[in-house]
Amino acid sequence: MDAITIRRPDDFHVHFRRGEILKSVVPFTARQFGRAMAMPNTSPEPILTRGDALKYWLEITEIVQKVGLSPEDFCPLVTIQITDETEPNTVREIKEEGMGGHKVIVAGKVYPLGVTTNSHNGVSDFRALYRVFAAMEEVGLVLSLHGQVPKAFCLDREKEFLDTLAMLAKDFPALRIVMEHISTKESVDALKDLPKTVGATITLHHLLITLHDVLSFVGEEGSEGLNPHHYCQPIPQKLEDRGALIGAAMSGNPKFFFGSDSAPHLKERKESSCGCAGVFSAPVLLPLLVGLFEFHGKLDRLEPFVSEFGARFYGLPLNQETITLNREEWVVPKEYNGIVPFFAGKTVGLKVQG
């Protein structure tokens, strides 16, 4: 096969930021995906209300148009951040929100307090937000969770959140909940046992790297060292965890779908004494995903994972267009506008056509 064609996929978790970074990163996603769900932890101002979300949608769309694409080719989806201050009415205002016939505000995101980039306004008490979750259940807004307990040991944070996830699923049986970027075998197992209303996104980098690639990375000259560009939250874990994630992504279980968590940070913010969490994977997503599924002999499971299960979970129509990848080698640039991408400097064997 010289080329691989699939239904145009969706990315159900991406960080686009604002300002200059927004301009440089949006085109990578827009050229590969039909839709992508932009996270609300922007700086200096997060996306907190319907008005903020619609303004952000327009900012993203403007860039999409500048690179010659229309909202028919790529439609951004946006989210609001749920904080301790969010009121049920903030959520009720979002009912049936659409732009030009497209439903665009699709989720409310909860970051536990202080757990990752720009989460200083995160949630400290889930129970105190029950009126907000009830409003989300009522209007059909998906609850998107950064599922980690901030005070726990760094490698146990996700595991310790699973009780909260089960509690929310039980207390809000009609609320659709997504546990974002799962990183452990325990999460995969827990998800399988939870009701259909609970799904999970899986990133490309958690399918490819483990903690070893963060802390014992073999550099160009052959010696091992820390790779800050592989550092993200949740922290990639052991081989058995990565194996469970690969199993889940390739299982055909519709609870597991793709969300890249592509999270750009300027190189100097990553290569620092307090490096930011985030892997900027947008430029290499589809070539590496296709390569990974092919390597495991599961190419038939790729399209459901990237182009169907997420859309169905969110109640969105499937994309009708296709995308083709050609077998063509290219070297991933070492930087894009001051941001180091995932697989920088490495050769990739597939390239998105066009």
Kindly state the number of chain residues that form the binding site for Zn ion, as judged by CB under 5 A: 1
Other Cβ atoms less than 10 A from the Cβ of 89: the count is 10
Q: How many residues does the chain have?
A: 354
Residues 4-63 that bind ligand DOR (CB under 6 A): 15, 41
Strands (E), the chain: 3-7, 10-14, 35-38, 75-82, 98-99, 102-103, 105-110, 142-145, 177-179, 198-202, 217-218, 224-225, 256-258, 322-331, 347-352
- Taking CB under 6 A as the criterion, the residue among 110, 190, 202, 263 binding ligand DOR is 263
CA 39 – CA 16 distance, rounded (Å)? 7
Residue 52 makes contact with Zn ion by CB under 5 A: no
In terms of CB distance, is 9 or 40 closer to ligand DOR?
40
- Taking CB under 5 A as the criterion, the residue among 158, 261, 276, 305 binding Zn ion is 261
- Taking CB under 6 A as the criterion, the residue among 183, 187, 233, 262 binding ligand DOR is 233
Which helix (H) or strand (E) covers residue 189, if one does? helix 185-193
Q: Which does 175 bind (CB under 5 to 8 A by kind): ligand DOR, Zn ion, none?
A: none
Kindly state the number of chain residues that form the binding site for ligand DOR, as judged by CB under 6 A: 12
Residue 11 makes contact with Zn ion by CB under 5 A: no
Is residue 261 among the annotated active site residues?
yes
- Taking CB under 6 A as the criterion, the residue among 7, 31, 35, 146 binding ligand DOR is 146
Residue 306 makes contact with ligand DOR by CB under 6 A: no
Residue 266 makes contact with ligand DOR by CB under 6 A: no
CA 67 – CA 352 distance, rounded (Å)? 16
Question: By C-alpha distance, which of 78, 144, 76 is closest to 110?
Answer: 144
Instruction: Point out the residues that are catalytic.
Output: 261
Point out which residues bind ligand DOR (CB under 6 A): 15, 41, 116-117, 146, 232-233, 261, 263, 276-278
